[in-house]
Amino acid sequence: MNPFGFLRVAAATPLVRVADCAFNVEHILALLRRAERENVNVVVFPELAITGYTCADLFHHPVLQRGAVEALEHLVKDSATLFSGLAVVGLPLVVEDMVFNCAAVLHRGKLLGIVPKSFLPTYKEFYEARWFAPAIKANCRQIDLVGQSVPFGTDRLFAAEDWEGLTVGVEICEDLWVPVPPSSMQALAGATVLVNLSASNETIGKATYRRQLVLSQSGRCMAAYVYTSCGVGESTTDVVYGGHCLIAENGLLLAESRRFLREDALLSADVDLDRLRVDRQRTNSFRDVNLYPGQERPFVRSTFTLGAQSVRTDLRRPIEAHPFVPQGQEQLRERCEEIFHIQVAGLSKRLEHLGIPPVVIGISGGLDSTLALLVACKTMDTLSAPRQRIHAFTLPGFGTSNRTRDNAHALMRLLGVTAREIDIRPLCLEEMRALGHRPFGIDLTGLSVEELVERLHRLPPEKRHDLVFENVQARMRTNLLMNSGFVIGTGDVSEAALGWSTYNGDHMSMYNPNCSIPKTLVKFLVDWAARNEFEGEVRRTLLDIVDTLISPELLPAGADGQPVQATEAALGPYEVLDFFLFHFLRYGAPPEKILFLAERAPFQRPYSAAELRGWLKEFLRRFFANQFKRSCVPDGPKVGTISLSPRGDWRMPSDAQAALWLRWAETG
C-alpha cells in the first residue's frame, strides 16, 4: 500500500572514525533505529561509510578489507530486526583481486545487491584510481558475501513489489559529476528514486554547485534524488568534509542539512511518487532518448517488500498554500517582471501583426481588468505608441458599486488612456423588454431605469437570483466593446476553470493577456505593481482595487450601493480554489489527495475539513460542467505551468462526466 504516493526517504551522516569499522557500524545502526522510529522507507549512508572515505593506502590492507566485511555482516544481521525499510551503505570490497568502491543495498537482513562505483576521480585532491577499480573492470555478476549469494554490478535496480512506482537506482559520488551519470540511464529504465553515496569535500562555493547539480539531475530524470555525504569525522590531512545532505524531487529542493555537524544526523523528507509518475506519463519525450550503439544498458530488478503503510499525517515536505505565487522578495521581483514581459510580448506581437490598431478594454475597477490595462499600457510604451490608443470603457450596470466605478475612472485618468463611460442600464432594459423577460418577476412595461432600480433595491435577498438579468448585462458590455475595436480580454484562468463567466460575454475577446494567470496571482501582481512601480494616487487606487470585494456586480446593489454578490461566498476562497486547480491540473491529483494536502496547507486563515470538502466538490462539478466555454476561448499567452487553452495544454471533451471524481465526495 502506498497512501497518496508519499515515500519517506532519508540521507544519513553518521559519526565516523577513519578505519574503525566497529565504531562506524554502531553509529550506522543507531541511525537505522532512528529512521525506523521516524517511519523512513529508504535511507542512504555516505560513500565508504563502514570504513571511512579517507583510508587511502589502508584500503589495500587485508585487515581493513576483512574488517569491512565483518562489519557489514554485523550490520546485515542486526538491521534485520531494527529497520524495515531499504538501506544503502558504502564500503570497499575485494572482488577478483580488485578493490571496488561499493554500495551495499540491504533489506531486512538480505543483501539485495552490491553496486560498484563507475567513475573514479583522479584529479586535484582525489586519487581514487590508486586504490579502486572502476565498475567496468568487473567480470562477475554474482558474489558470495556474508553467507549470501549477492548480485554485483551497475545493472541493478531495486523495486518494491507492494509499492507501485517505487524503483531505486544507486550511484556513487563522482558518478553524478560526469556528463551522462548512471542515474540518467537508471531513470530511463524506470527508477523513480535515485540515491547517491558521496564523499564530496568542502571548498568555497562547492555546496552551491553541488545543490544545483542535485536539483538539475532530479529535474532531468523526473525523479527523487537523495544525496548524502561524509561528515567531519573524516581525516583532515588535506581536506575537510561537511556532511552535506540534499533531498530533491523533480527540480524542487525538499530538504537540505546543516553542514559541519558533530553528531549523527538524519535528514528526511516525503517524496511524491505519484507526482513523478504523472509527469513522466505526460512528458512523452522522456524515454525517447536514442543511445549510441553499445550504450544500451539492460537493467535487472531486485525486488523487496516494504509492507503496508498508514497515511502520513506528519507530512515532511513543503506544501505551498499559494502555489502560483512566488516566495521570497528577490524571486517575487524576478517573477513579476517575467510575467509582465510574457504578457506584453504576446500582446505586442499580435498588435504588430495588425499594424498597431487602437485597442478597446472594459474597465470594471476590479483586479482582472486592472492587470489587463497595466499590460496594455506597457505594451503601447514598448511599441512606442501613445497610450491614448487604448480606448478604455467603464460600463456601469445595475450592480455597479460607487467604489469600483470611482476606481475605474481614477485608473483610466491616471494612466493617460482614452476614457469613456457608457451606462448600459437603458440598453439592457430595452433588450429585456424585447425578450419579454420579467426580471425577478417585475413587469417592465412603462418602467424607467430609475423606477426599475428603486424596485430592485427593495428586493429581499432571497429573490435576487436571475441569470437572464445577469447575462444581458455581460453580453451588452461585450457587444459594445466588440463594436468599438480590437478588444483586449481580462478574464483569468481561475474563472475559466470554474466557468465563472457569461458565454460570449466577458468570456470572449480578440486577445486575452490574462488567460493563463490564476486569480491569486492576478491579485498579487496588481499589489506588487502598486508597491513597486507606482507612487501617489496611482498606488492608492491600485491598493484600493486589491482590497475590493471580488464580485461580478451584475445583481442589484443593496440600498447602501454596495454589491450583494461576493464571488468567494458563492464558490469558495480563491486561494483554496487555485490550490485545487494547481494540484488537479498540474499533477492530476485525485480529490482525496487534494483534500489531504489542503487540510495541511498554511492558508491565510484556517478552514475546516467540511468547508474544504464542500468547495472541492463544487470545484469539480463546475470544472466538468463548463468545458464547453473553454473549448472556444481567444488567443492568449501561456504564462505559468497551468493553461486551459484548447489549443495548448488542456484538451477535454465538453461532455466528459465527473462521476468518477465526484464519487469520492459521496464515499470519502
Question: What pLDDT is stored for residue 279 in this prediction?
Answer: 95
The pLDDT tens digits for 560-614 are 666 777 899 899 999 999 999 999 999 999 999 999 999 999 999 999 999 999 9
**454 is an active site residue:** no
DSSP strand E in 409-464: where?
418-421
* Integer Cα distance of 505 and 501 in angstroms: 7
- The H or E element containing residue 611 is helix 609-625
* Integer Cα distance of 241 and 91 in angstroms: 18
What single letter denotes the amino acid at residue 259?
R
Phi and psi, residue 138, nearest 5°:
-70, 140
**117 is an active site residue:** yes
Q: What is the CA radius of gyration of the chain?
A: 31
* Integer Cα distance of 54 and 33 in angstroms: 26
Residues ≥6 apart with Cβ < 8 Å to 505: 471, 474, 475, 477, 478
Beta bridge partners of 265: 13
User: Helix %, strand %, coil % for the chain, to 5?
Assistant: 40, 15, 40
* Integer Cα distance of 198 and 246 in angstroms: 11
Question: Pairing relation of β-strands 6-13 and 42-44?
Answer: parallel
Architecture of domain 329-667: 3-Layer(aba) Sandwich (3.40)
Question: Pairing relation of β-strands 390-394 and 359-362?
Answer: parallel
Question: What pLDDT is stored for residue 561 in this prediction?
Answer: 63
Q: In what order do the strands lie in the sheet with 246-249?
A: 252-256, 246-249, 224-229, 193-198, 167-172, 156-160, 300-304
Which member of 102, 173, 230, 336 is catalytic?
A: 173
Question: What pLDDT is stored for residue 295 in this prediction?
Answer: 53
Which member of 21, 47, 245, 470 is catalytic?
A: 47
| Cell 506544501 found at | 319
Q: What is the CB neighbour count within 10 angstroms for residue 565?
A: 18
> Domain locations in the chain?
8-285, 329-667
Cell (9 digits) for 152: 554485483
Question: What pLDDT is stored for residue 240 in this prediction?
Answer: 96
Question: What pLDDT is stored for residue 555 in this prediction?
Answer: 83
Straight-line distance from the first to the last Cα atom of the chain, in angstroms, rounded to the nearest whole number: 18
> Do 371 and 517 touch, CB atoms closer than 8 A?
yes
Report, as ranges of residue numbers, the positions in the chain whose pLDDT lies below 70. 1-2, 290-297, 557-562, 667-668
Class level of CATH domain 8-285: alpha beta
Question: What pLDDT is stored for residue 290 in this prediction?
Answer: 62
Which member of 21, 55, 102, 117 is catalytic?
A: 117
> Do 66 and 99 touch, CB atoms closer than 8 A?
no
What single letter denotes the amino acid at residue 251?
G
| Angle at the Cα of 500 from the Cα atoms of 499 and 501, rounded to 5 degrees | 95
Question: What pLDDT is stored for residue 296 in this prediction?
Answer: 58
| Cell 528526511 found at | 268
Question: Pairing relation of β-strands 224-229 and 246-249?
Answer: antiparallel
> Do 452 and 469 touch, CB atoms closer than 8 A?
no
- Which of 379, 372, 384 has its CA nearest to residue 412? 372
* Integer Cα distance of 210 and 378 in angstroms: 40
207 burial level (CB within 10 Å; 0-12, 13-18, 19+): middle
Statement: the pTM of the whole predicted model exceeds 0.85: yes
Cell (9 digits) for 302: 531486485
- State the sign of the Cα–Cα–Cα–Cα dihedral 496, 500, 505, 506: negative
* Integer Cα distance of 102 and 132 in angstroms: 10
**463 is an active site residue:** no
In DSSP notation, 192-232 reads -EEEEEE-PBP-TTHHHHHHHHHHHHHHHTTSEEEEEE--T
Residues ≥6 apart with Cβ < 8 Å to 37: none
* Integer Cα distance of 157 and 539 in angstroms: 58
Question: Distance of CA 534 to CAs 344, 452, 530, 537, Å?
Answer: 18, 41, 5, 9
Please check whether the two domains, 8-285 and 329-667, share a CATH topology. Answer: no
Question: What pLDDT is stored for residue 271 in this prediction?
Answer: 97
Residues ≥6 apart with Cβ < 8 Å to 540: none
- Which of 60, 65, 66, 53 has its CA nearest to residue 16? 53
> Do 169 and 44 touch, CB atoms closer than 8 A?
no
